[in-house]
């Protein structure tokens, strides 16, 4: 993408991923500030698939405060009037519940070009928890000729959920490079093995759970990829139960009555007959 601008970076650095969120950014170093500015101008707000690229010149002197306000002081507002509601309207409306610290109202380039004010939702942060609680109690209200909905912001916790994975069609991938994103891993596996139904990246454990659309492909994954190199690391393919929390989740699912468990028909190819035993 960067070299498509006609300028080649000296170095590109990717961030280490985390379990809660994919980090879709990188740092690119250029030989001159003019080259960096030219690339920024070429890529900023460029549409690539369903994503809109945001490109900015890095300025170490403007170090951002990365500490996020606790969710206990925030409220989520949605169903906003796209054409009329802006940050000042929300600030004025929510100030009656308490002092407002900030209003974050996302606005995509597409909506901005259409003259809209927002993407239909916003986050309002209060100075105190009491202010947020009062707003949440309201639940909803009329603002700018639209019925808005107000709710609490849910905390993102590092909770692994493996109960929705089909263990027969799922493999574990170990020693995954920490900069690899879930999308990149999925693309790699599909190019080497077959279609992936779902995946869960676990950077803190340098691994991932991957469910293929077929049990046969899950079996082939070990034969084709165990011990192969991917993004500088030698990866290994194992079973879903290699992660202790996933093993317990699978046991809990198996304990459910048959009418509450998966109704999918078993494959004619037992996956363990296809998987290569790890030494």
- The enclosing domain of 108 has a CATH number of 3.30.70.330
Let me know if residue 161 belongs to a domain. no
pLDDT for the residue 135: 95
pLDDT for the residue 50: 67
Q: How many domains does the chain have?
A: 3
**196 contacts 255 by C-beta, under 8 angstroms:** no
Specify whether 267 is located in the same domain as 178.
Answer: yes
- Could you report the per-residue pLDDT of 146-156, keeping only the tens digit for each? 999 999 987 55
Task: Give 212's contacts (C-beta < 8 A, 6+ positions apart).
Answer: 169, 170, 171, 189, 193, 194, 195, 196, 197, 218, 221
Let me know if residue 130 belongs to a domain. yes
Q: Which domain holds residue 110?
A: 71-152
List beta partners, residue 52.
47
In whole numbers, what is the pLDDT of the chain averaged over residues? 81
Let me know if residue 162 belongs to a domain. no
pTM above 0.75, yes or no: no
- Could you report the per-residue pLDDT of 37-85, keeping only the tens digit for each? 888 888 888 887 767 788 888 776 655 555 556 778 999 999 999 999 9
pLDDT for the residue 31: 86
Cβ neighbours of 16 (radius 10 Å): 11
pLDDT for the residue 20: 64
3-state SS of 113-169 is HCCCCCCCEEEEEECCHHHHHHHHHHCEEEECCEEEEEEECCCCCCCCCCCCCCHHH
Regarding predicted confidence, which is higher, 275 or 13?
13
Q: Which of 151, 145, 136, 135 is nearest to 82 (CA)?
A: 145
pLDDT for the residue 156: 54
- Could you report the per-residue pLDDT of 161-207, keeping only the tens digit for each? 555 788 899 999 999 988 888 888 999 999 999 999 999 888 878 88
Q: Which of 261, 207, 253, 214 is nearest to 230 (CA)?
A: 207
Specify whether 127 is located in the same domain as 214.
Answer: no
Specify whether 265 is located in the same domain as 185.
Answer: yes
Residue at which a domain ends, from 106, 121, 152: 152
Specify whether 125 is located in the same domain as 216.
Answer: no
In the predicted structure, residue 249 carries a pLDDT above the cut 70:
no
Q: Which of 95, 98, 97, 87 is nearest to 122 (CA)?
A: 87
pLDDT for the residue 261: 43
Specify whether 173 is located in the same domain as 212.
Answer: yes
Pairing of β 236-239 and β 121-126: unpaired
In the predicted structure, residue 245 carries a pLDDT above the cut 60:
no
Let me know if residue 126 belongs to a domain. yes
Specify whether 107 is located in the same domain as 177.
Answer: no
pLDDT for the residue 58: 79
In the predicted structure, residue 257 carries a pLDDT above the cut 60:
no
Segment 73-99 shows an average pLDDT of 95
Specify whether 107 is located in the same domain as 171.
Answer: no
In the predicted structure, residue 212 carries a pLDDT above the cut 70:
yes
């Amino acid at each position: 993408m960067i070299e498509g601008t006609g300028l080649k970076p000296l170095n590109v650095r990717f961030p280490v991923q985390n379990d809660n969120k994919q980090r879709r950014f990188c740092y690119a170093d250029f030989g001159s500030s003019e080259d960096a500015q030219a690339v920024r101008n070429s890529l900023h707000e460029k549409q690539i698939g369903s994503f809109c690229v945001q490109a900015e010149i890095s300025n170490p002197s403007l170090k951002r405060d990365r500490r996020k306000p606790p969710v206990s002081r925030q409220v989520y507002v949605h169903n906003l009037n796209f054409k009329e509601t802006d940050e000042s309207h929300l600030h004025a409306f929510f100030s009656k519940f308490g002092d407002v610290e900030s209003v974050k109202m996302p606005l995509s380039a597409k909506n901005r070009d259409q003259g809209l004010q927002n993407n239909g939702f916003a986050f309002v942060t209060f100075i105190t928890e009491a202010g947020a609680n009062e707003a949440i109690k309201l639940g909803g209200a009329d603002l700018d000729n639209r019925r808005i909905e107000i709710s609490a912001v849910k905390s993102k916790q590092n909770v692994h959920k493996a109960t929705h994975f089909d263990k027969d069609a799922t493999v574990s991938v170990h020693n995954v490079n920490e900069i690899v994103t879930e999308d990149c891993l999925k693309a790699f596996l599909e190019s080497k093995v077959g279609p992936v139904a779902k995946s869960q990246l676990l950077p803190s454990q340098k691994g991932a759970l991957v469910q293929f659309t077929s049990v046969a492909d899950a079996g082939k994954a070990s034969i084709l990829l165990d011990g192969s190199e991917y993004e500088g690391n030698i990866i290994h393919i194992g079973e879903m139960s290699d992660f202790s929390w996933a093993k317990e989740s699978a046991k809990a699912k198996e304990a459910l009555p048959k009418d509450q468990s998966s109704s999918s028909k078993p494959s004619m190819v037992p996956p363990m007959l296809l998987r290569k035993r790890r030494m």
